[in-house]
Amino acid sequence: MEFFHALNVDEKRCIGCSRCMKICPTEAIRIHGGKAAIQEHRCIDCGRCYEVCPAQAIRIKDDDFEAIRRYPHSVALLPAVFMGQFPDDINVSKVYASLYELGFAHVMEVESAAMIYKEAKERYAREHPDVRPLISSFCPAIVRLIQIKYPSLAENVMPIKVPLDLSAMYAVQELVSRGIPREEIGLFYITPCAAKVSAVKAPVGEEKSLIDGVINMNLLYNRVYKHIKDMGKNHQYPPLSRQRLSADAILSTLTNGERRICTAKRSYAIDGIENVMDFLDRLENDEVEGVEFLELRACDQSCAGALLSVDNRFLCGERMYARARKAAERERNGEMPRDREMEKYQEYLIENSLVDEVQPRSMMVLDPDISKALEKMEKIERMKVHLPQIDCGVCGAPTCEAFATDVVCQQASLHQCVFYRLHLEQAGKMTLHEGRTNMYAVWGDDRISGEIEV
């Protein structure tokens, strides 16, 4: 079974620096022929490789902005962090108006469904008292991480549609109720990360998403920002009739956004993929007990720190908190946020919020036959003893353990280990030419050929 992946390597740009290989949290990247290669069964589309690549060789498969022209009623599904990218002199009204002027017929922030999502989770928790801790399905990179690296915890992930999907359902219902044919409605999510591209193109627990396209948030920000600057300071933008989101909805995508409004007695909000993995290691080893709910996000500061964010994650978070304070003040003054309009569909959305249970897809399945898998596991352990255990990466794998696994699974040759080759050369069992040939296989001809001046 293959995952859809939003991340891919442009081999023409790749310089084989191995930065991506060393930083990947699931050890999904190898170097072959001087180029990075992604092992699809391990990749979770977290985007760490994208962030560190100096050659911009990691690409994200998103949809072209012009795809919105195919639909008379194109809907921009915005994450709240999109608003947090803009400087203080560009308010929400300007952003909404610019999106309309750029071609969208409708604009909706997906956090409009945050409180309905909260209610759906609370109902699920009441109906499944024996499943603890419950893990939020909000971050698709975390869902995939659990599937492949912590398969024993897959049943703890709540099989509930996230606010993006609930908002998409609402948008379709609302527009169809106005007499608009479904085929004329195009839903486009403005994604802050690669994992959400994958979640749309190949949703976990569903056959197909309602969303028709995914647009890079960084690229759309540049379009909107340029449009506003081109219009000039004197351009008149129609004001919003009232605020679009409640304070709780605005903050729901930041770290602690779900936890602060949940009713669980003991819960944690953890961001950063390394922090999440450290906690899940402890949880899987029964070192942590009594936890009822976990909000886990792959990015530091959650979606404010996503890889397609334009501005600093802390500045983005500061703007979102400022917007939330203004929203809370308006609510205290009796103004109801527009996201409350969704409440008329609340029961429909909650009743249709469940998806199929998250299935484990362990990256460590060595063979479908359990006896052969155990045999391979023993071989890996024996081979590790003879490897240097310094994780130098010269073999093209991130660690000695990963290399041993590749060799046993016939995805690499033991001769790729420089220490093993030196041992063979000293014993007269391998020539220098043969050793060089093995280096070519990993790092390519160009990097090794030629004279080096000292």
Give the model's confidence band at 453: pLDDT under 50 very low, under 70 low, under 90 confident, else very high.
Answer: low
Q: Which two tokens stand for residue 373?
A: 């898998």
Query: What is the distance between the alpha carbons of residues 240 and 238, in angstroms, rounded to a whole number?
Result: 7
- Residue 81: which of 218, 223, 192, 188 has the closest Cα? 192
Going from N- to C-terminal start, the domains of the chain cover 1-61, 65-351, 366-454
Q: Is 329 helix (H, G, I), strand (E, B) or coil?
A: helix
Q: Which two tokens stand for residue 277?
A: 């993995």
pLDDT at 4: 86
pLDDT at 2: 62
Taking CA atoms, 379 is separated from 175, 367, 402, 406, in Å, by 59, 13, 13, 11
Residue that the structure tokens 């709240």 belong to: 80
pLDDT at 331: 87
Topology of domain 366-454, CATH = 3-methyladenine DNA Glycosylase II; Chain A, domain 3 (1.10.15)
CB of 90 closer than 8 Å to CB of 122? no
User: Looking at the DSSP assignment, which residues form a beta bridge with residue 295?
Assistant: 269
CA 394 to chain centre: 29
Q: Which two tokens stand for residue 234?
A: 């004197």
Residue 295 neighbours by CB distance under 10 Å? 24
Residue 431: partners with Cβ closer than 8 Å, 6 or more residues away: 425
Query: What is the distance between the alpha carbons of residues 13 and 35, in angstroms, rounded to a whole number?
Result: 9
- What are the phi and psi torsion angles at 109 (to 5°)? -90, 130
Q: What are the tens digits of pLDDT across the range 252-296?
A: 999 999 999 999 999 999 999 999 999 999 999 999 999 999 999
Q: Which two tokens stand for residue 253?
A: 């995508």
Taking CA atoms, 261 is separated from 188, 248, 296, 305, 439, in Å, by 28, 8, 15, 21, 55
In terms of C-beta distances under 8 Å and separation of at least 24 residues, what long-range contacts does 283-288 make, across chains too? 283/133, 283/153, 284/150, 284/152, 284/153
Q: What are the tens digits of pLDDT across the range 289-334?
A: 999 999 999 999 999 999 999 999 999 999 999 999 999 998 888 8
User: Average pLDDT of the chain?
Assistant: 92
Query: Which of 3.30.70.20, 3.40.50.10800, 3.50.50.60, 3.40.50.880 is the CATH number of 1-61?
Result: 3.30.70.20
Mean pLDDT of 414-441: 85
Q: What are the tens digits of pLDDT across the range 48-65?
A: 999 999 999 999 999 999
Give the model's confidence band at 235: pLDDT under 50 very low, under 70 low, under 90 confident, else very high.
Answer: confident
Q: What is the DSSP letter of 189?
A: E
pLDDT at 69: 96
Mean pLDDT of 97-115: 95
pLDDT at 243: 63
The single-letter code of the amino acid at 397 is A
> 449 pLDDT exceeds 70?
no
E-assigned strand segments in 84-163: 106-109, 134-135
CA 346 to chain centre: 27
User: Looking at the DSSP assignment, which residues form a beta bridge with residue 424?
Assistant: none
Q: Worst-scoring range by mean pLDDT, 156-170, 239-253, 294-308, 382-396? A: 239-253
> 452 pLDDT exceeds 70?
no
pLDDT at 241: 62
